[in-house]
């Protein structure tokens, strides 16, 4: 899997209709950079380059609201993210990953208080979620009948894994987006997991 570089500025990608090969190579190149990100517009256009900084949060949010997929650094690995309440956005993640819906996706939120909108939390001790998040933890909870998540997200599975990564850019994106993001690691089915950039491997 692709790990964020240890640098003051990581990278992020906007993934529209790009084919997996273009996206794979773009992500590999993005991981080797410390201040830039490739923006994949479609399957043929050359990627654009943007810094993963606060001034570009709106670009990521705009892409999400259009139903596109973004690739972002988290506190553990690079991940693909899309609107978890929008069927076509979730379908794009599955398409990019080359996997079907029997392989569950996690969800990324901005605040612990948001958990109750997407999962059953009444049984949890007061303050538990705020103690756990943000951080490299996934809470697996029942979705419940009142969950706002799309029914096509992990169909047939009654639970959902929810994260709040302790990573500035994805937290800013989730906050500005104001909803749940479907989140999965940025690697592709039947392909080797992304290694970290050569010069950064000693850090892991």
Q: Could you tell me the domains of the chain?
A: 13-185 (3.90.870.10)
Q: What is the pLDDT along the chain (204 residues), one digit of tens a residue?
A: 444 443 334 445 655 444 444 454 555 554 444 334 434 333 334 444 566 788 889 988 988 998 888 888 888 878 889 999 999 999 988 888 776 667 899 999 999 999 999 999 999 999 999 999 999 999 999 999 999 999 999 998 999 999 999 989 899 999 999 999 999 987 754 444 443 333 332 222
Q: What is the pTM of this model?
A: 0.76
Burial class (CB in 10 A: 0-12, 13-18, 19+), 39: buried
47-50, long-range: CB within 8 Å, 24+ apart, which pairs? 47/13, 47/22, 50/12
Rounded-to-integer distance, Cα 160 and Cα 119, Å: 7
138's tokens = 């996934």
Q: What per-residue confidence (pLDDT) applies to 21? A: 45
Distance between CA 198 and CA 201 in Å, rounded?
5
pLDDT at 39: 41
């Amino acid at each position: 899997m692709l790990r964020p570089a240890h640098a003051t500025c990581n990278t992020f990608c906007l993934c529209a209709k790009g084919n997996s090969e273009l996206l794979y190579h773009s992500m590999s190149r993005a991981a080797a950079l410390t201040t830039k990100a490739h923006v994949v517009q479609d399957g043929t256009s050359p990627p654009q380059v943007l810094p993963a900084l606060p001034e570009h949060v709106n670009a990521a949010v705009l892409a999400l609201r259009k139903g596109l997929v973004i690739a972002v650094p988290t506190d553990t690995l690079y991940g693909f993210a899309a609107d978890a309440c929008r069927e076509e956005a979730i379908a794009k993640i599955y398409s990019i990953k080359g996997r079907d819906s029997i392989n569950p996706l996690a969800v990324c939120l901005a605040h612990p208080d948001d958990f109750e909108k997407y999962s059953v939390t009444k049984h949890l001790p007061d303050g538990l979620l705020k103690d756990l998040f943000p951080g490299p933890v996934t809470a697996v909870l029942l979705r419940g009948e009142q969950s706002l998540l799309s029914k096509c997200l992990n169909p047939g599975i009654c639970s959902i894994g929810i994260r709040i990564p302790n990573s500035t850019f994805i937290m800013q994106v989730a906050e500005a987006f104001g909803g749940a993001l479907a989140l999965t690691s940025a690697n592709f089915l039947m392909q080797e997991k992304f290694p970290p950039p050569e010069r950064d491997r000693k850090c892991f």
